[in-house]
Amino acid sequence: MSGSDLTWEQAVQWLRQQPEHAELVRACYYDDPLLEAAQRFAASEEWAATLALLPKRSGRALDLGAGRGISSYALALAGWQVTALEPDPSALVGGGAIRQLAADAGLSIQVVEEYGEKLPFASGAFGLVYGRQVLHHANDLSQLCREVSRVLQPGGVFVAAREHVISRQEDLSVFLANHALHRFYGGENAFRLSEYRQAILSSGLHIERQMGPLESAVNYFPMSRQEWRRACASPLPRILGPSLADQLLNEKTAFSRGLLALASHLKTRMSSAPGRLYSFVARKSAS
């Protein structure tokens, strides 16, 4: 079976029919009822961490590449006036699903079926552009970021969450070979960290924050916080000894939090896993 044999909708339908992938389906919010999946996302550690990155005052938000609409739902619950941009009209993974979700939830979400490289909105239309796992799907990454910058109002914020990163172009084939659905629909991709940064910066936006795989729940979810602590702390027993490491990591002190933050930073810098996740927060100049 080649990568062009199935549509995205068909690939997700296939995945949902495989019992061994039930946990992955749930982690990706591909399960039904969709409203329950969206509610689970809105209550997740990932979304709680995302909310802390958003502007304090809500306004008009564009959910870029909205998929099934889980982010649109969460943004609307948080008080944003949401426009969901999703080129796929599918009732399972696209615009149709978002419209049904909005109706079931009693929320006002405008759905626009278009690609991000040519946004059909006026310049300065949004105070927030949010994209969850979107940039790595771009046909033209630089053009997509230019369009995001154009539709942001002065001082507006762009959050690009959970983007796949590779260290070398040769790593792309490794990432794609290990992706659960790419072999069926051929739609996955990843870029080098420098390519994401260059595309965002060249669009006129300023990167305020860059988060690596273990540096935020935005990236490490659905790993639990306890699993995250163990992943971050794995080198510490060898350095400090098991007893001291366990004591320090289980203390609820500023020092313990700082130690975990340092460990997560070092582990992120050492990671070269193809497809690891990074997130970015960028802002348009207020002038």
* Domain assignment of residue 2, yes or no: no
Residue-by-residue pLDDT tens, the chain, 287 positions: 344 578 999 999 999 999 999 999 999 999 999 999 999 999 999 999 999 999 999 999 999 999 999 999 999 999 999 999 999 999 999 999 999 999 999 999 999 999 999 999 999 999 999 999 999 999 999 999 999 999 999 999 999 999 999 999 999 999 999 888 887 788 899 999 999 999 999 999 999 999 999 999 999 998 887 788 777 777 667 777 777 766 666 666 676 677 777 777 777 777 888 999 999 999 999 97
For the purposes of burial, counting CB atoms within 10 Å of the CB of 110, is it exposed (0-12), middle (13-18) or buried (19 or more)? middle
* Domain assignment of residue 218, yes or no: no
Q: Note whether 157 and 236 are same-domain residues.
A: no
* Domain assignment of residue 219, yes or no: no
Cα(82)–Cα(117) distance, integer angstroms = 19
Q: Note whether 205 and 230 are same-domain residues.
A: no
Here the CATH number for the domain that contains residue 12 is: 3.40.50.150
* Domain assignment of residue 118, yes or no: yes
H helical segments located in 67-224: 70-77, 95-105, 141-151, 171-178, 182-185, 193-202, 217-220
Q: What pLDDT score was predicted for residue 3? A: 45
Q: Note whether 108 and 231 are same-domain residues.
A: no
Range of the domain at 194: 8-213+272-284
Q: Note whether 144 and 265 are same-domain residues.
A: no
> From its phi and psi, is residue 106 left (phi > 0), alpha (psi between -120 and 50) or beta?
left
Give the number of domains in the chain. Answer: 2
Q: Note whether 167 and 256 are same-domain residues.
A: no
Q: Note whether 192 and 228 are same-domain residues.
A: no
* Domain assignment of residue 130, yes or no: yes
Q: Note whether 86 and 37 are same-domain residues.
A: yes
